[in-house]
Amino acid sequence: MEQANLMQRRVTLLRKTAIFASLPADELLVIAGLSESIELNAGETVFEEGAAGDSLFIIEEGEITISRQSEGFEQIDLARFLAQDIFGELEFLSCSPRTARASAATHTLLLRFPRNGMKFEDILKGYPSISAKILQNFLVIIAGRIRNTNNLIKENSPVIQELKNQVYRDKLTGLYNKTFLEEHIRDLLHNEGASVALLMIKPDNYKFINDTYGHEAGDHTLQIMARELQAELEGNGLAVRFMGNELCAVLPDRNREESLSFARKIQNRMIRLALSPVIGEREFSLSVSIGIAVYPDPAFPEEPPSGERLIERAHELPLIGRARGGNMILFPEDKEVH
């Protein structure tokens, strides 16, 4: 009963903090279990300047003083944190040593995440979905602090890169995911004079592979397709796993004719895929249908740039191509049969 009450106290505290508040109850319980409670008397130290920044702290009760020693060996108070405040997260996220000393100004109860001796990198690997959900909350809070402060967080630190991977990368294929596409395409279109082609690529006979050879074979097929798409792009565009078995190519500065030429190359490359190691059949051709949406589009000359509209137009076309026999390349104006 005592342990259950302790966990409930931790969950209640986590729910009151911006970083963890959006997590559902079961995931808050996971975070609570990976944390530890600390009780300090007035004057006791949480961490010293120069210590490893391997955790963050949430104040349940009491008050924490952040201070630094001056050149004259005086302790200068820099900040004070009260109940429900978080501190220590900047060094935690950037894998940096502590830049100041933290001590209890009064009798204080803290929650430390992760608990002593546990590495955050291991938590990221063990609970990727939870990490992905809290990433944006981390970044929003940190971004607000670094607007007027330089070098508080290292964008290339292992933790930040891992967190970004959890949010923007597809685990199966290693490609960018739908979330990244929606944000990136919006940025591309808002550049003055921007032009971009968006190709949605969907195998016509993927269901046959799954039903006949199993979902593992389907996953391997998708991984092979992803590698081939990246190889064809040669760094001149972005490869994305949009949804399910639908891949996407983002081609900046490509017009209608150039994007059509690229789509034909992708079709030919996919047809020639060597899938025998995956499905055990010597002769099997993967048929794909491709939808293309471009901006600016002569068919919609007055339309303002919209990433959502561009994605929507391209996304529905491969299914139409498959319904018409497959192995088709369609533009939005091809949607209706005349």
- Do residues 288 and 152 share a domain? no
- At 318, is the secondary structure helix, strand, or coil? helix
Cβ(104)–Cβ(59) below 8 Å: no
In a domain, 173, yes or no: no
Q: Tokens 């000359």, residue?
A: 301
- Do residues 118 and 42 share a domain? yes
The residues, any chain, with a CB within 8 Å of residue 150's CB and separated by 6 or more, are none
- Do residues 329 and 197 share a domain? yes
- Do residues 44 and 138 share a domain? yes
Q: Tokens 């997590």, residue?
A: 23
Q: Which of 214-223 are b and which e, b meaning 16 or more Cβ less than 10 Å from the residue's Cβ?
A: eeebbbbbbb
Q: Which residue has the higher pLDDT, 153 or 327?
A: 327
- Do residues 21 and 151 share a domain? yes
- Full domain range(s) for residue 128: 2-168
Cβ(189)–Cβ(305) below 8 Å: yes
Token pair listed for 325? 């026999």
- For residue 229, name the pLDDT band (cuts at 50, 70, 90): very high
pLDDT for residue 105: 94
In a domain, 106, yes or no: yes
- Boundary (domain end) residue, out of 134, 168, 202: 168
In a domain, 233, yes or no: yes
| 151-210 tens-digit pLDDT | 444 555 565 666 666 678 888 898 999 888 888 887 787 776 778 899 999 999 989 888
- Do residues 197 and 147 share a domain? no
- Do residues 203 and 77 share a domain? no
- At 124, is the secondary structure helix, strand, or coil? helix
| 5-54 tens-digit pLDDT | 889 999 999 999 888 888 889 999 999 999 999 999 999 999 999 999 99
Rg (CA), the chain: 26
Mean pLDDT of the residues in the chain = 85
- Do residues 206 and 107 share a domain? no
- Do residues 267 and 329 share a domain? yes
- Do residues 187 and 84 share a domain? no
End-to-end CA distance of the chain: give it in Å, rounded: 71
Domains contained in the chain, number: 2
